[in-house]
Chain A
């Protein structure tokens, strides 16, 4: 079935360690996104990418990094520079924005819960 797969679902990190969250999609979508969700904060955009080898910072990119070497994959690295990384992370994808045929709908993965010990 087509969809978005995030892994791992749960991840524990010691302070000072970098961790990478995986996101893979087989929907043939051009655009991929990473959102962070905290209680009472809604979803906040970390990074997004509309094409391979290109990505843009979102509203809260500090302390995070991404890569987009393949259309299907958009991993997120939470670096030690992120001061408060404990959160729920959601990956999403969509057809290329800006096209009239695109409905703008985001398709989401099941999320990854990161806890810093």
Chain B
């Protein structure tokens, strides 16, 4: 079984500043995918960024980047130059690539203040 832990129920950041959301996971698989999803007030789940475990290079998508530490099973999300539209619930998820479904953390609510 896989577990995903997000230890920060809520985070706050000022506009234009940088914030890091934490995620740790537990899996016995050697090959897997990791994801960060965003859920704004509309509740539509949106993929933010994806990391393949066999790639050592950290994924980057514009203002979003990850710090992937495979040995520590850590997968944090960094949001640079935060914008008001970044305010949302953020979920970390792991896909063990073993035929099962994504396993999600409990989420971190991000507040962005002007």
Chain A residues packing against B (C-beta within 8 Å): 31, 33, 35, 40-45, 48, 50, 58, 88, 90, 92, 97-98, 103-106, 108, 110-111
Report chain A residues within 8 Å CB of B35.
104-105
Report the minimal beta-carbon distance from B97 to chain A, rounded to whole angstroms.
Answer: 6
B106 and A41 form a contact (CB under 8 A): yes
| Contact of A110 with B44 in the complex, beta carbons under 8 Å | yes
User: Chain A's interface: helix, strand, loop or mixed, by majority?
Assistant: strand
B41 interface hit (Cβ, 8 Å): no
CB distance from B51 to the nearest CB of A (A): 10
Q: Which of B33, B91, B106, B107 contacts A104 (CB 8 A)?
A: B33
Within 8 A of A (CB), among B66-98: 91, 93, 95, 97-98
Q: Can you give 14 A-B contacts (C-beta < 8 A)?
A: A42-B6, A42-B104, A42-B106, A45-B101, A97-B95, A97-B98, A104-B35, A104-B95, A105-B47, A108-B44, A110-B42, A110-B44, A111-B43, A111-B44
* Chain A neighbourhood of B43, CB < 8 A: 88, 110-111
Q: Are A103 and B50 in contact (CB under 8 A)?
A: yes
The chain B residues found within 8 Å of chain A, CB to CB, are 6, 9, 33, 35, 42-45, 47, 50, 91, 93, 95, 97-107
Contact A43 B98 (CB under 8 A): no
Shortest Cβ gap from B1 to chain A (Å): 9
Which residues of B have CB within 8 Å of A105?
A: 33, 35, 47, 50
CB neighbours of B44 from chain A (8 A): 108, 110-111
CA distance A92 to B43 in the complex (A): 13
A58 to B44, CA, bound (A): 22
Query: B100 contacts which chain A residues (CB < 8 A)?
Result: 48, 97
The answer to whether B105 touches A104, judged by C-beta atoms less than 8 angstroms apart, is no
Are B91 and A98 in touch, CB under 8 angstroms?
A: no
CA distance A104 to B97 in the complex (A): 7
Tell which of A33, A40, A97, A98 has the most Cβ of chain B within 10 Å: A97
